[in-house]
Amino acid sequence: MSEASRTTPRTDLRERALVLDGADPLAARRKLFALDDGVYLDGNSLGALPVHVPARVQDVLTRQWGELRIRSWDESGWWTAPERIGDRIAPLVGAAAGQIVVGDSTSVNVFKAVVAAGRLAGEGRDEILVDATTFPTDGYIASSAARLTGHRIVPVAPADVPAALGPRTAAVLLNHVDYRSGRLHDLPGLTAAVHAAGAVVVWDLCHSAGALPVGLDEHGVDLAVGCTYKYLNGGPGSPAYLYVAERHQAAFDSPLPGWNSHADPFGMTPDYAPADGSVRGRVGTPDIVSMLTLEAALDVWDGVSVDVVRAKSLALTDFFLECVEAYVPAGRVTSVTPAVHAERGSQVALRCDGAEPVMRRLIERGVVGDLRRPDVLRFGFTPLYVGFADAERAARILGEVLAEVDADVVADVVADVVADVVADDTVG
């Protein structure tokens, strides 16, 4: 493509980006976050800091802890924070109140959910199906849970789950969105298939909660887990959450029965009696500073429709892919993220030779994405603060970086050839 023919589409794309940003109903949310002049496309790993959070955390440290001290368990609502914050997350994943408890890490909650799912399934079922493409930790945890409970792990691709289900299936652990490719799996259809086989399903929502509608209650999901530091912007290492459908709460048998989930936690009795409701998902003393940081961060969702977030997410990723096609040298990258909206999360993953130095240069140029080895450039689109101008700029700089990298490779090859010729002449 000639320089002249590239000028018009670039100008058109920049102008379109400005028009799209001007019509964006979420555009005003951007000012709620601490952002610089760069393009931050890694909110699917760590969400940006909401600007009001530091002051709220300062109050937790200086007044609630510094002045009230132990009294804050009651007077500042520390004791009820796991359920209270769970109820704030609930609308974002399509759950009614009283079914989500916040605390521990995603890994710990995966362990609770997988073991509890196996127990809910009952006798005679000794297989746990695990998403073969899952985030590695989910697989590690599920394998350990299976060894401890006498189950057998069966890795299977999500699309192949219906065919793999049978009378021996106890539980199925699936990721809603694939962390590498951004593929959105069919939660309603797969949940129905698992139930038809008499098994229990556990969904990992780490890459979907806060980016798209989930519909836990609507689709009859049994158990779910998720983190809060990605699209929910809770901060590094912020506590995860566990969803237990109301119909399962009376029978939910946690493998980690801590004192915080006891019916009478301050009774300090030697025998364990589980509390009612989502409180059964608690274990030990909650991490109050991180938990209240998350609670403050969730304020940015007040008045936001997840359907609007989803519409913008799809429009952003469509526009980014269009810009990539216009700016990036032909054949240099290949999208591994599905083009079909029903199969796409809120990220774009591009397979690229030499991905590591390419991402390094992008970050140096102010476009922050991340790398999934060996060859995937991953760009997360967080609709609350990423705009269309960001998408256009990121694709344009990606095209420039790839051209620079390719030119460097050619120069290195030429230099090697010249060196070899000189060496041959010298020897001769």
Tokens representing residue 192 in the block: 């129905």
> Which residues, 6+ apart, have CB-to-CB distance to 358 below 8 Å?
352, 377, 398, 401, 402, 405
Terminal Cα distance for the chain, rounded: 44
Query: Which of 417, 418, 71, 110 lies closest to 255, judged by CA?
Result: 110
Task: Give the distance from CA 212 to its chain's centroid.
Answer: 11
Task: Give the distance from CA 311 to its chain's centroid.
Answer: 18
Residues annotated catalytic, as ranges: 135, 204, 229-230, 378
Q: Are 216 and 94 in contact (CB under 8 A)?
A: yes
Tell me: cis bond preceding 265? Omega within 30 of 0 counts: no
10 Å CB burial of residue 264 (0-12, 13-18, 19+) is: exposed
Using CA atoms, how far apart are residues 214 and 206, in angstroms rounded to an integer?
11
Query: Which of 208, 206, 211, 284 lies closest to 240, judged by CA?
Result: 206
Using CA atoms, how far apart are residues 45 and 160, in angstroms rounded to an integer?
28
Tell me the β-bridge partners of 153.
128
Question: In which residue are the tokens 């521990």 written?
Answer: 104
Using CA atoms, how far apart are residues 350 and 309, in angstroms rounded to an integer?
23
**Which pairing describes strands 169-175 and 127-131: parallel, antiparallel, or unpaired?**
parallel
DSSP element (H, E) containing 169: strand 169-175
Tell me the β-bridge partners of 350.
335, 377
Using CA atoms, how far apart are residues 255 and 257, in angstroms rounded to an integer?
6
**Helical H runs in 36-172?**
53-59, 72-75, 81-89, 106-121, 136-149, 161-164
Residues in the chain: 428
